[in-house]
Chains A and B, each alone.
Chain A
Amino acid sequence: MAEIVLKPKGNIGITVEAEVIRPDMLVMKKMGEIEGLQVWQGSEQLPLGEFFDVELTGMGSPEETTIVIDGDVSRVKYIGKGMKAGKIEIHGAAGMHVGAEMAGGSIRVHGDAGSWAGMEMKGGLLQILGSAGDHVGSAYRGSWRGMTGGQILIEGNAHSQVGGGLAGGQIVIGGNVENFCAIRQNGGLILIKGNAIRGLGAEMTGGTVAILGSIRQFTPGFVEIGPEENPELGDLQLEGRFVKFSGDFAIHKNPKGLLYWKEG
Chain B
Amino acid sequence: MAATVIKNGYVFDPLNGIDGEVKDVFIKDGKVVVSLTGAEERDAKVINASGKTVMAGGVDSHSHVAGSKVNAGRLMRPEDHYKSVRRKTDITHSGSGFTVPSVYKQGYDYAAMGYTTVFEAAMPPLEARHTHEEMRSTPILDMGAYLVFGNNWFIMRYLKKGDVDKAAAYVAWMMRTHKAYGIKCVNPAGVENWGWAKNVNGLDEPNIHFEVTPREIIRGLAEVNEMLGLPMSLHLHANNLGHPGNWEIARDSLMITSGLEPMSKTELEWAQTTESAKRRQTIYLAHAQFSAYGGTSWRDFCSGAPGLANYINKVDNVVIDSGSVPFGPATTMTGDGPAQHDLYVLTGQKWSNCDVEMECGSGILPLVYLKSSPVHSVQWAIGLEVMLLVKDPWKTIMTTDHPNGGIFTQYPQVMTWLMSKKARDDTAKESHKWAYDRSSLGGVERELNLYEIAILTRANPARTIGMAHRKGHLGIGADGDVTVYDLDPTRLDVNDPETLKQKFSLPEYTVKDGQIVARLGEVVAVPEGRRYYCRTYVDEALEKEMLADVKEWFKYYTVGFSNYPVPDKYLKNPVPIQVNKPLEAVLRR
Contact = CB atoms under 8 A, between A and B. Distances in A.
A251 B345 CA distance: 11
Contacts of A34: none
A139 B78 CA distance: 11
Nearest to A144: B350
B80 interface: yes
Interface string A220-239: 00000000000000000000
Interface string B46-86: 00000000000000000000000000000011111010000
Contacts of B77: 142
Interface string A137-169: 001111110000000000000000000000000
A176 B79 CA distance: 28
A235 B76 CA distance: 38
Contact of B79 (A139, A251, A252): A139
Contacts, number: 15
Nearest to B366: A142
Interface residues of A, number: 8
Contacts of B80: 142
A251 B82 CA distance: 27
B98 to A, nearest CB: 12
Contacts of A143: 79
Contacts of B350: 144
A142 B77 CA distance: 6
Contacts of B348: 251-252
The B contact surface, by secondary structure, is loop
A142 B366 CA distance: 10
15 contacts: A139-B79, A140-B78, A140-B79, A140-B82, A141-B78, A141-B79, A142-B76, A142-B77, A142-B78, A142-B79, A142-B80, A143-B79, A144-B350, A251-B348, A252-B348
Contacts of A251: 348
A140 B79 CA distance: 6
A180 to B, nearest CB: 16
A251 B351 CA distance: 14
Nearest to B77: A142
Nearest to B88: A43
Q: Which of B76, B77, B79 has the most CB of A within 10 A?
A: B79
Nearest 9 pairs between A and B by C-beta? A143-B79, A142-B79, A142-B78, A141-B78, A140-B79, A142-B77, A140-B82, A141-B79, A142-B76
A92 to B, nearest CB: 27
Interface string B68-110: 0000000011111010000000000000000000000000000
Interface in A77-110: none
Contacts of B82: 140
A141 B74 CA distance: 13
Nearest to A145: B79
Interface string B331-353: 00000000000000000101000
Nearest to A143: B79
Nearest to A139: B79
B79 to A, nearest CB: 4
Given A142-B80, A144-B350, 13 more contacts: A139-B79, A140-B78, A140-B79, A140-B82, A141-B78, A141-B79, A142-B76, A142-B77, A142-B78, A142-B79, A143-B79, A251-B348, A252-B348
B328 to A, nearest CB: 15
A139 to B, nearest CB: 7
Interface string A107-140: 0000000000000000000000000000000011
A196 to B, nearest CB: 24
A142 B350 CA distance: 9
A31 B156 CA distance: 74
